[in-house]
Amino acid sequence: MKKWKVLSPLIVLALWQLLAGLGLLGKSTPTPVEVAQGIYQLTVTGFPPGYRLPGHIAASLGRVLLGFGMATLFAVPLGILMGWSPAFDNALDPLVEVVRPVPPLAWLPLALTWFGLGMFSSAFLIFLGAFFPIVLNTVSGVKSVDPYLVEAARTLGAGEATVLARVLAPAALPSIITGMRIGVGIGWMTVIAAEMVGVKSGYGLGYMILTARDVARFDYVVAGMVVIGVIGFLMDRLIKAAEKRVLRWR
Partner 1 sequence: MRPSRALPAVIAVALAAFCAMALSLPLAGCGGEPQGTRVVRMGILRNDLHQVAYYIAREKGFFADEGLDVREGGAFSAGPEEMSAFSAGDLDMGYAGTAPVVTFAGQDMADVRIVAQANMEGSAIVVRNGLEAPDVESLKGRTIAVPGYSTVQDFLLRLALDKADVSEKDVSIIVVKPPEMIPALSAGQVDAAVVWEPYPSMVAAQKAGRVLVTSDEIWPHHPCCMLVADAGFLRENPDTVRRVVAAHVRATEYINENELEAADMAHLFTGQPNDVARAAMKNIEFSFRPRPEGIERYVEFLKDNGVIKVDSPGAFTRALVDTAFLPGGGS
Binding residues (CB under 8 A) for partner 1: these are 26-28, 48-49, 108-109, 112-113, 116-118, 196-200, 202, 207, 211, 213-218
Count of CB atoms situated within 10 Å of the CB of 173: 18
Comparing C-alpha atoms, which of 218, 214, 212, 236 is closest to residue 64?
A: 236
**Which residues 6+ apart lie within 8 Å of 133 measured at CB?**
179, 182, 183, 186
**Least distance in angstroms from the C-beta of 28 to partner 1:** 6
For the chain, the C-alpha Rg in angstroms (whole number) is 22
What is the residue-wise DSSP string for 70-95? HHHHHHHHHHHHHHH-HHHHHHHHHH
- Which residue's CB is nearer to partner 1, number 3 or number 27? 27
Q: Please, what is the minimum distance in Å from the beta carbon of residue 197 to partner 1? A: 6
Question: Which residue lies nearer to partner 1 by CB, 58 or 153?
Answer: 58
Query: Please, what is the minimum distance in Å from the beta carbon of residue 113 to partner 1?
Result: 5
Pick 139 or 222: Cβ nearer partner 1:
222
Taking the least distance from each CB to partner 1, the nearer of 9 and 103 is: 103
CB 52 within 8 A of CB 46: yes
Min CB(156)–partner 1 separation in Å: 43
Q: Is 187 exposed, middle or buried (0-12, 13-18, 19+ CB in 10 A)?
A: buried
Q: Is 201 helix (H, G, I), strand (E, B) or coil?
A: coil
> In degrees, to the nearest 5, what angle opens at C-alpha 233 toward C-alphas 228 and 238?
125
Kindly tell me which of 127 and 218 has the beta carbon lying closer to partner 1: 218
Beta carbon of residue 92, minimum distance to partner 1 (angstroms, whole number): 30
- Alpha-carbon distance 207 to 224, whole Å? 10
Nearer to partner 1, 57 or 221 (CB): 221
CB of 215 to partner 1, least distance (A): 5
CB of 66 or CB of 108, closer to partner 1: 108
The H-or-E segment that residue 194 falls in is helix 191-196
Please name the amino acid found at residue 6: V
d(CA 27, CA 18): 14
Minimum Å distance from CB 172 to partner 1? Answer: 29
